[in-house]
Structure 1
């Protein structure tokens, strides 16, 4: 406490102070970094790669897509046993 018994009022960040100017420069640098990361994600080609794969699968033509494996199994199914026995 002060000698007069009054609490000091906390100073808010003022736009004219050196500390706020350094704080603002950090904020602006972080914002620019976020924007750059967003641009890199957009340019990375992930979405375009997926779109190209879908187009290739849909409009592949002959022998461009992998054939689906045979769905049948070579193992015969077990016969159900009679429930009465």
Structure 2
């Protein structure tokens, strides 16, 4: 179907998930991937995650931001050197 997610993750110092972002792309044919303004990969990933892992407290919002909140994280241990809001050009 030509859609795919690029997933950027932010992790704690000990490697645990802190937050993430799904960047939706599609490949219309030859010439590589392009940003998907319809955000199809976000919606597909959210649907599949909900169906396959209903007990996991992972949220993916409409702009692709991912949050997981089984327990509060210590903000001092989250890596801040990885920007989440870059765009594909």
| Superposed pair shares fold, TM > 0.5 | no
Relative CO higher for 1 or 2, CA cutoff 8 Å, sep ≥ 6?
2
Bigger fraction of residues in helix: 1
Instruction: State TM-score, norm by structure 1.
Output: 0.21
Bigger fraction of residues in strand: 2
Instruction: State TM-score, norm by structure 2.
Output: 0.21
